[in-house]
C-alpha cells in the first residue's frame, strides 16, 4: 500500500486550490444568497481540464487517474458545493457514462464538447415517483419508424435547466421491468423537450436543479445508448461513478469545516484566551478531523480500484455513505465551534451545513448505500 501522492497529484491539488481560492471562495456566499448559477467560473474551469477529469485525452479530456480526480473534486468541494455538484454530474454521471456505454460515433460527437466545458450535461433518471426505486420509470420511449418518441417527466435534475445534453432513461417495454429500460442522449432544443427550474432549495442554492418535460419528443434512432434494455445497468454503473464524485466532494466539505473551525478557534477569545485552549473545543476539532481523514481514505480506496478497473460498487457505497454523513457531522460541529456567529452567513459554516444535507439523499440515499453494503457483506442480491 502506498499512501504517497505522485508529483502530478500534488500539482493538481495546488492548481485546483489556487483556482478555488482565487475564483470561487470570494463569490460563493453571494452566489448562494442570490441563487446565481456560476457560469463564468465553469467557463474558466474548461481550459484547465477541470471539466473532464478522467476522460481520455483522445476525446478531449484530461485523462486523470481517479485519485487525481478525487483531489480535483475534493478541492472544488472545499470551496463551493454548488459548483462541485455541477461538476460531478457533468463529469461522473454524464461523461463517464458516455465513455463506458456510447458508440464510437456518439463519443466523438459529444465528449470533446463536454470535456472542454463548451457543453454541460445532465442525467435524467429520477422521476416524481421513481427515486430510490429507479427501475419504476414512467417515462416511455416508443418506437416510431427509425426513431423514438419520449413522453414523461423527470424530477430534481441537477444542471437540468442549463445542460445542452441530457442522458434520459425511459421504459421501452413495461412488461420487462428493469430489463425494459433504455438510455438516450437527448440534445437541448429538441422539439417536445423543455425544462422548468426548481427554486427554494435548502442548500446548493447556486446550482441549477430542474424538472424536465418530454411531450411527444421525437429523437433519432442513433440517440439510443447501448441496447434498449441496457438502461438499468447503465444507470447503476453511472451511479457507481457519480457516488464516488459525491463522496470526494463531501471530503472537501469536511476539510472546509475543519479549516474554518481551526481558524475561528484560534482567533476567537473567551474567558481571556482563544477558545482553541478549551478541551471541549479541542474535542470538536478532533471529531471533525477524524471524520475528514477517515472519509478521505475510503474515497481514495474506491479511487484506487477505479483506476485499476476493478468493480467497486461496495467500496464506492461505503465511501459515499460515510463521507456524506461525515460532512453533516463536520458541518454541525463547525457551527458549534463558531457559536452564534456560525448561524449567520457572514461565516461559511451555515452554508456548509445546508449544502451537506442533500448529499445524504441524492445519487442514492444513505439507506440505499446501507442496503448495497449490507447485501454485499451478506452475499444476498435481491429484495426477498
By the rule CB under 6 A, 370 interacts with ligand COS = no
Through-space distance between the first and last CA atoms of the chain, rounded to whole angstroms = 38
Helix (H, G, I), strand (E, B) or coil at 72: helix
User: C-beta of 48: minimal distance to ligand COS in Å?
Assistant: 26
The owner of cell 441496457 is 230
User: C-beta of 156: minimal distance to ligand COS in Å?
Assistant: 7
Residues 51 and 86: their CA atoms lie apart, in Å, by 10
User: C-beta of 25: minimal distance to ligand COS in Å?
Assistant: 27
Residues 117 and 96: their CA atoms lie apart, in Å, by 14
Give how far the C-alpha of residue 241 lies from the chain's centroid of Cα atoms, to the nearest Å: 9
Helix (H, G, I), strand (E, B) or coil at 229: coil
Is 216 or 227 the residue whose CB approaches ligand COS more closely?
A: 227
Question: Using an 8 Å Cβ cutoff, are 70 and 248 in contact?
Answer: yes
By the rule CB under 6 A, 101 interacts with ligand COS = no
By the rule CB under 6 A, 315 interacts with ligand COS = no
The one segment of 106-114, 215-223, 301-309, 376-384 that binds ligand COS by CB under 6 A = 376-384
> Which residue is catalytic, options 75, 211, 315, 363?
363
By the rule CB under 6 A, 241 interacts with ligand COS = no
Choice from 42, 125, 225, 335 touching ligand COS (CB under 6 A): 125
Residues 155 and 150: their CA atoms lie apart, in Å, by 15
Note if 363 is an active site residue: yes
By the rule CB under 6 A, 135 interacts with ligand COS = yes
Count the residues of the shown chain that bind ligand COS, applying the rule CB under 6 A.
Answer: 25
Q: For residue 329, what is the enclosing H or E element? A: helix 313-338
By the rule CB under 6 A, 232 interacts with ligand COS = yes
List C-alpha distances in Å: 130 to 125, 135, 142, 213, 350. Answer: 8, 7, 19, 15, 31
Q: At what angle do helices 66-79 and 279-308 cross, to 10 degrees?
A: 140
The one segment of 27-35, 67-75, 205-213, 236-244 that binds ligand COS by CB under 6 A = 236-244
Residues belonging to the active site: 363
For ligand COS, the binding residues (CB under 6 A) are 123, 125-126, 131-132, 134-135, 178-179, 232-233, 236-237, 239-240, 313, 362-364, 368, 371-372, 381-383
Amino acid at each position: 500500500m502506498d499512501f504517497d501522492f505522485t508529483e502530478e497529484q500534488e500539482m493538481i491539488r495546488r492548481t485546483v486550490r489556487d483556482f478555488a481560492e482565487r475564483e470561487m471562495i470570494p463569490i460563493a456566499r453571494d452566489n448562494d444568497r442570490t441563487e446565481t448559477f456560476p457560469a463564468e467560473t465553469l467557463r474558466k474551469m474548461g481550459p484547465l481540464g477541470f471539466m473532464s477529469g478522467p476522460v481520455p485525452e483522445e476525446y478531449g479530456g484530461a485523462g486523470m487517474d481517479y485519485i487525481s480526480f478525487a483531489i480535483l473534486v475534493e478541492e472544488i468541494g472545499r470551496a463551493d458545493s454548488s459548483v462541485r455538484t455541477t461538476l460531478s454530474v457533468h463529469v461522473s454521471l454524464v461523461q463517464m457514462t458516455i465513455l463506458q456505454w456510447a458508440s464510437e460515433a456518439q463519443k466523438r460527437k459529444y465528449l470533446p464538447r463536454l470535456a472542454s466545458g463548451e457543453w454541460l450535461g445532465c442525467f435524467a433518471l429520477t422521476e416524481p415517483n421513481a427515486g430510490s426505486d429507479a427501475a419504476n420509470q414512467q417515462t416511455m420511449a416508443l418506437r416510431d419508424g427509425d426513431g423514438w418518441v419520449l413522453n414523461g417527466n423527470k424530477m430534481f435534475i441537477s444542471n437540468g435547466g442549463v445542460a445542452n445534453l441530457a442522458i434520459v432513461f425511459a421504459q421501452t417495454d413495461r412488461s420487462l421491468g428493469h430489463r425494459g429500460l433504455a438510455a438516450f442522449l437527448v440534445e437541448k432544443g429538441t422539439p417536445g423537450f423543455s425544462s422548468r427550474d426548481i427554486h427554494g432549495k435548502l442548500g446548493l442554492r447556486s446550482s441549477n436543479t430542474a424538472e424536465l418535460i418530454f411531450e411527444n419528443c421525437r429523437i433519432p434512432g442513433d440517440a439510443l445508448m447501448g441496447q434498449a434494455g441496457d438502461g438499468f445497468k447503465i444507470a447503476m454503473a453511472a451511479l457507481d461513478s457519480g457516488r464516488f464524485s459525491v463522496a470526494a466532494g463531501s471530503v472537501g466539505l469536511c476539510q472546509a469545516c475543519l479549516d474554518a473551525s481551526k481558524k475561528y478557534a484560534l482567533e476567537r477569545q473567551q474567558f481571556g484566551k482563544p477558545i482553541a485552549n478549551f478541551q471541549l473545543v479541542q474535542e470538536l476539532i478532533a471529531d471533525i478531523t477524524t471524520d475528514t481523514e477517515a472519509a478521505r481514505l475510503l474515497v481514495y480506496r474506491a479511487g484506487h480500484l477505479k483506476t485499476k478497473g476493478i468493480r467497486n460498487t461496495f467500496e464506492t457505497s461505503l465511501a459515499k455513505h460515510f463521507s456524506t454523513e461525515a460532512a453533516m457531522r463536520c458541518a454541525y460541529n463547525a457551527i458549534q465551534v463558531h457559536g452564534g456567529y456560525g448561524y449567520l452567513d457572514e461565516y461559511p459554516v451555515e452554508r456548509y451545513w445546508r449544502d451537506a444535507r442533500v448529499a445524504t439523499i441524492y445519487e442514492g440515499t444513505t439507506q440505499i448505500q446501507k442496503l448495497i453494503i449490507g447485501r454485499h457483506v451478506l452475499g444476498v442480491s435481491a429484495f426477498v
